[in-house]
Structure 1
Amino acid sequence: MNKTQNHSDAMNAENFNFYTLCKVIQTIRQTRSTNGKIQAFAEYLRRLPSDRDLHLAAQFTAEGAFEEVSGKRASVGSRTSALAAAKFCEIDYDLVFKPCRTATGSSSETIERLMNNIPEAIEKRVPGNLTLEQVDEIFDQLYAVSSRADKEKILWETWSRMTPVEIKYFIRMLSQGSLRIGFETRSVVAAIAKAFKKKREDVRYAHMITGSIGKTAVLAKHNQLDEARFKLFHPLSFMLASPIESRSVDHIEQYVAEEKFDGMRAQVHVKENTVQIFSRDLNDITRSFPEIVSFFIERKMPATVFDGEICVYKDDTILPFQLLQKRMGIKKPGKKILEKYPVLFIAYDLLFTDGKPIFDLKLPGRRKLLEKLSKKHRLPTSVQFEISGNDDIEYLFNRALRHGNEGLMLKHKESKYEYGQRRKSWLKVKKPGGSFDTVVMYAHAGSGKRGGTYSDFTLGISVKEDERYEEEFIPIGKAYGGYTDEELKKINQRVKELTVERYGPTLGLIPKLVVEIEFDDIQVNRRTKAGYTLRLPRLKAIRWDLGPEDVDTLKTVEKMYQEKLQQERLTQDKNPSFEF
């Protein structure tokens, strides 16, 4: 009897190990219907025998190797995994692995296929029915080591005890992001609710205040969701805004307006001498902004959680977001950086105070408490404006632009803090930061409702007369929507005609299909060939009338970026958008 047969026999009995979880994940990936995916995972969760297995299964599927609130990261990049896999399979990384990855379009898919087909890799593996807890211990081992050699040793030892499908999802869990199976955290929440017959909103609320999808699953199983407790210094899901043009608004007077600051959304948790700052993607960014930490420590505040914006602020003026970028990612900024790009946190909402969360308090109630704290501790706080019609919105919008801000936020007076939701309670009024005519360089296969079509596109700008480059076009961003179904059909027909290369789910195209895109802003990004990326690019129009010779150039991008930096801004000592 061979090794594979032994493993297959072990699976005949219901065995809730890591292999079983990976097979369920694979089934979910192959299921088109969202409800079908939720049903499959709910049935699996319901059958899990122990609370620990339930916790880990939910965590691995929704969050990856570590809980978001743990602050842990494995730091095993795709290159580390790829090099380790090439050595494990005894193949040349450049000559064999990289072409295979190009063909599949995915490093983890490539590794799975190699493990299935390379004799040397098959011979080295004896599947060991690893439990979820054993895999959790392996993730901790990877977290504890720093050298590539140590990480590679652990990976080899682990893979020798896994099947190919386990190896694929083990690698994806290490990335701490989506498993790329069309099943995100909200679907895991729905599956937990279905598995244990709970209201989805109750499960979502417990997950939000505990910060742990695994703990939430266990609470749901034992009918203890009402025992979920908020824990200070773990990030909460942010309330989101919808574009005003995507929502019909009948009674605009029921909203108040605030300027939408040209900064970075952040959440500040503070209790006396302890301060933590979290970004919109729930990462701890405290060390990057020591002056904000000092600001709050000086005020000796009680336990409080603020929602607001970090802005570069100098000479009574909010400076461009591009300057804030020079602070982002620097874990310990030096004196020169701190002096050149000083930052300020402007609070515009309150989530926790007086020992309790206040999400269910309506906006005026939260605002009253925020203003009370602001007055007592002298905190920068957004200014709110009453509005009665479109004329008010137009006036305040233009005023916000003169401040250099992005536009307006309209907030419904009766709204609660709808964490993680994007509804009509908050609306954003913005205008595009600009637009470019670009050429489609690559087409990527869509997923979900867009499955079977090419709906995601890498867009390029012209550098054919730029002495810094040998290519004719280089990427400037990606666009994922903005077209009708009929337009998408025409695009896909043209994509077929222009395809010259295939990289798994990605097609390389002859650069002839021109589209106009609009975007919110231009950002410096030295990791890209262009040196810039576009913030929130989206398709504005398919320019069937234009050819590749009409595409905008990198020099146009650079010129627009400089113009934005040099734009004159209204100072806060005249018509302020926030107050101390």
Structure 2
Amino acid sequence: MTPFAQLLDRLIYTPSRNTKLALIVDYFRHAPDPDRGWALAALTGALSFPGVKAGAIRELAMRRVDPVLFGWSYDYVGDLAETTALIWPERRSNRAWPTLSEVVERLRTTARSDAPDVIEEWLDPLDATGRWALLKLITGGLRVGVSARLAKVALAEYGGVDPTEIEEVWHGLEPPYGELFAWLDRRTPRPDLEDKPVFRPPMLAHPLEDDEVEGLDFSAFLAEWKWDGIRVQIVARGGEKRLYSRTGDDIGAAFPDVLDHVTFEAVLDGELLVVAGGEVRPFNELQQRLNRKTVTGAMLRKYPAFVRLYDILFEGAEDLRDLPLVERRARLEAFHARTAPQRMDLSAIVEFAGRDELEALRAGARDTATEGLMLKRRDAPYVAGRPKGLWYKWKRGPLTVDAVLMYAQRGHGKRSSFYSDYTFGAWREHPETGAPELVPVGKAYFGFTDDELKLLDKWVRDHTVNRFGPVREVTHGLVFEVAFDSIHRSPRHKSGVAMRFPRISRIRWDKPAAEADRLETLEKLIG
């Protein structure tokens, strides 16, 4: 654990991307197998211990510490692993620090009821940094400023290969990645995954900014609607089939109604939607099926899944990614006409005569239940990542409302000492008394500067009226201008509505809370 704890400690205090890369590469060079593989899994979010819940860590800490003191400390620190690591009473122990592999392998075979005792044995010989690293590893969510992408770039730098090559094999391998490191160390050939249904890195778009519109040659681009679902990749190879999210998560178990109709061999790029009665349904209906391991028959009937196809990457074993877009589009159309897969159609090409007509179409995108337009160069190959100048997303303007801050919660990582997650509400008449009341309509944790965060944190502390663990209820005196992409009905929320991608556009220090928007105003924006 010592090298891994030192790595995490250095990463969290290092703001420089290049320095983080150098630290991770150095760790890969000096850590033994399988420790470095387990560390890679932890950094990329591929390691979890479902048998150890956060509640078990909390209960374990309160074996040693007064529960009231622990509660106060946790409220101040805002992070369970950090609080436990700092408050844990040190006891002398002759035990050596466990290795990273020992921790992983033992927790994988330990019964849930025995896990707290095993963790307690490890915590005693560790120092505060070691305890923090151990508990972060166990509870997940390292939050040391390293994304999965950055860890893979470090891996590519370590092995002297292109990051795209790492992405090409990544989803066909499992922790602790012995086969992967053997290849990067030049001890074995690159892993052969040609007949496996592996995820292929997707091509992503840049936002089209207002100052770029004037100089863009629109005639060089094809246009499509930007549908409000989630990007997916259908992969069928070697008799197996998978449905991946854009980040490579296998979500097929939640969408058997899509996979049941995959009777071909290909790799297709598209948008996962809920379509009922021939109409694309709001995103919150698709959300009912996301992040589920299984779905009921009632859910399959109520929220039928559908994929709108954008692109074809492989047809059979033939790699089409180097072809220009117009040729891939022709191959996709021919493929769809020949295979006629159910629950799938083609994203239509939006015809336009020039920029003015396209701008008018974008302005009216809300009426078409889309987020705007996608612009793709006709001659562009399918390139992994976000290459410049090839694909643009030209989204419609956001909606905005004025909402009142109701609750604040501490953030995570560097924000763990600040109240940075904000729940806000709109006014309505109380159904029984008729008096004005606030009901929550959304939650946001970005859209403000670091200086504004300090002001907001102080305001929350000065205006707290109640506490619920890490959450503070505040007086109804601060108004946010909230921007969001769309709003939909939602029976799960007291207000009956849910925002899509809410963010704080402006802090209205000057506006009285009584003048914030009413729930009826938000309901008129539903669409």
Q: Would you say same fold, with TM above 0.5? A: yes
- The residue aligned with 1:295 is 261
Q: Does 1:319 align with 2:288?
A: no
Match of 2:38 among 56, 72, 84: 56
User: Matches of residues 477-516 of structure 1 in structure 2 within 5 Å?
Assistant: 477-481=443-447, 489=451, 492-493=454-455, 496=458, 499-500=461-462, 511-516=476-481
1:379-390 residue pairs with structure 2 within 5 A?
379=341, 380-387=345-352, 389-390=354-355
Q: Deviations over 1:441-496 (max 9, x none)?
A: 54867988xx8997955141145854699985757211412x6x6xx646745654
Helix, strand or coil: the match of 2:462?
strand
Residues 428, 169 of structure 1: alpha-carbon distance in 2 compared, 3 angstrom cutoff:
same
- Tell me how far 1:56 sits from its aligned partner: 2.7
Match of 1:477, SS state, is strand
Aligned residue runs from structure 1 range 256-271, under 5 A = 256-271=222-237
1:334 equivalent in alignment to 2:296: yes
Task: Please state how far the C-alpha of 1:311 moved relative to its aligned partner.
Answer: 1.9
TM-score (ref. length: structure 1): 0.75
In proportion to residue count, which structure has more helix?
1
Q: Give the corresponding residue for 1:100.
A: 73
**3-state DSSP of counterpart to 2:261:** helix
Alpha-carbon spacing, 1:21–1:479, altered in 2? closer, same or farther (3 Å)? closer
Query: Do residues 112 (structure 1) and 85 (structure 2) align?
Result: yes
- Kindly indicate whether the alpha-carbon contact (under 8 Å) linking 2:197 and 2:235 is maintained by their aligned counterparts in 1: yes
Structure 1 segment 299-448 matched on structure 2, within 5 A: 300-302=263-265, 304-355=266-317, 357-379=319-341, 380-387=345-352, 389-397=354-362, 401-421=366-386, 423-432=388-397, 434-440=399-405, 442=408
Which of 547-556 and 340-349 deviates more? 547-556
Deviation at 1:377, TM superposition (A): 0.3
Counterpart-to-counterpart distance in 1, 2:194 and 2:138: 27
Q: 1:444 to 1:110 in 2, by over 3 A?
A: closer
The Cα of 1:216 is off from its aligned counterpart by 4.6
- Aligned-residue Cα RMSD (Å) equals 3.9
Aligned equivalent of 1:31: 14
Is 1:141 matched with 2:123? Answer: no
Q: Shift in Å at residue 295 of structure 1?
A: 1.5
Q: Do residues 186 (structure 1) and 154 (structure 2) align?
A: no
Residues 86, 495 of structure 1: alpha-carbon distance in 2 compared, 3 angstrom cutoff: closer
Q: Is the contact made by 1:209 and 1:229 (CA closer than 8 Å) also made in structure 2?
A: yes
Letter paired with 1:416: P
Q: Which amino acid aligns with 1:313?
A: V
2:424 pairs with one of 460, 466, 469: 460
Deviation at 1:548, TM superposition (A): 1.6
1:137 Cα shift? Answer: 0.8
Alignment partner, residue 578 of structure 1: none
- Say which SS state the counterpart of residue 333 (structure 2) adopts: helix
Q: By how many angstroms is 1:109 displaced?
A: 0.6
Distance 2:329 2:25 in 1: 40
Aligned partner letter, 2:82 = E
Q: Which secondary structure does the structure 2 equivalent of 1:240 belong to?
A: coil
Structure 2 gap segments, 5+ residues each? none
Distance 1:550 1:217, change over 3 A: farther
Verify the 8 A CA contact 1:438 1:516 in the aligned structure 2. yes
For 2:336, give the aligned amino acid: S
- 1:181 is aligned with what amino acid? V
Do the aligned partners of 2:309 and 2:346 also contact (CA within 8 Å) in 1? Answer: yes
For residue 235 of structure 1, what is the aligned residue in structure 2?
199
Q: Identity rate of aligned residues, in percent? A: 23
Q: How far apart are residue 21 of structure 1 and its match?
A: 1.0
**Change beyond 3 A, Cα 1:382–1:511:** same
Paired residue for 2:25?
42
> Following the alignment from structure 1 to structure 2, what is the Cα–Cα distance between the partners of residues 494 and 140?
42
Post-superposition Cα deviations, 1:55-97, rounded to whole Å, max 9, x if no partner, equal: 233222233525xxxxxx625332233223333x2543xx343
d(CA) in 2 for partners of 1:497 and 1:23?
A: 36
Shift in Å, 1:436: 1.7
Q: Give the drift of 1:160.
A: 5.2
Aligned to 1:81: 57
Q: Give the distance between the partners of 1:470 and 1:309, measured in 2 at CA.
A: 41
* Alpha-carbon distance in structure 2 between the residues aligned to 1:257 and 1:413: 10
Q: 1:339 to 1:57 in 2, by over 3 A?
A: closer
Check the 8 A contact 1:104/1:505 in 2, yes or no: no
Judging changes above 3 Å, is the alpha-carbon distance between structure 1 residues 447 and 417 closer, same or farther for their aligned structure 2 residues?
A: farther
For the Cα contact (< 8 Å) 1:268–1:278, is it kept in 2? yes
CA contact (8 A) 2:426 2:518 kept: yes
Q: Which is worse superposed, 415-424 or 222-231?
A: 222-231
Please say if 1:19 is aligned against 2:2: yes
Question: Corresponding residue for 1:69?
Answer: none
Is the CA contact (8 Å cut-off) linking 2:401 and 2:483 kept in structure 1?
A: yes
Whether the 8 Å CA contact 2:180–2:191 is kept in 1: the answer is no
Give the CA deviation at 1:106. 0.5
Aligned partner of 2:170 in structure 1 is 210
Alignment match, 2:240: 274
Unaligned runs of 5+ in 1: 1-17, 67-72, 565-580
Is 2:444–2:504's contact at 8 Å kept on the other side of the alignment? no
- Alpha-carbon distance, 1:43 to partner: 2.3
Check 1:259–1:513 CA distance in 2 against 1; reply closer, same or farther (3 A cut).
Answer: same
Alpha-carbon offset, residue 225 of structure 1: 8.2
Could you tell me whether the CA contact under 8 Å between 2:183 and 2:189 is conserved in 1? Answer: yes
> Does structure 2 conserve the Cα–Cα contact (< 8 Å) formed by 1:518 and 1:538?
yes
Match of 1:191, as an amino acid? A
Task: Give distance in 1, aligned partners of 2:418 and 2:116.
Answer: 36
Q: 1:336 to 1:446 in 2, by over 3 A?
A: closer
Name the CA distance, whole Å, in 1 between partners of 2:416 and 2:137: 26
Name the CA shift for 1:238/1:56 in 2 (closer, same or farther; >3 Å).
Answer: same
The residue number in structure 1 matching 2:100 is: 132
CA separation in 1, counterparts of 2:508 and 2:461?
A: 19
The match for 1:546 is 511
CA deviations over 1:396-422 (Å, ceiling 9, x no partner): 436754442222211122333333437
* Structure 1 Cα separation of the partners of residues 80 and 116 of structure 2: 16
CA deviations 1:81-122 (Å, max 9, x no partner) are 3223333x2543xx343322111010111111122xx25xx3
- Residues 463 and 168 of structure 1, relative CA distance in 2, 3 Å threshold: farther
| Alignment CA distance shift 1:86-1:139 (3 Å) | same
- For the 8 Å contact 2:81–2:139, the answer to whether it is kept is no
Contact persistence 1:517–1:539 (CA under 8 A): yes
Partners of 1:105 and 1:506 within 8 A in 2? no
- How far the C-alpha of 1:307 sits from its partner, in A, is 1.6
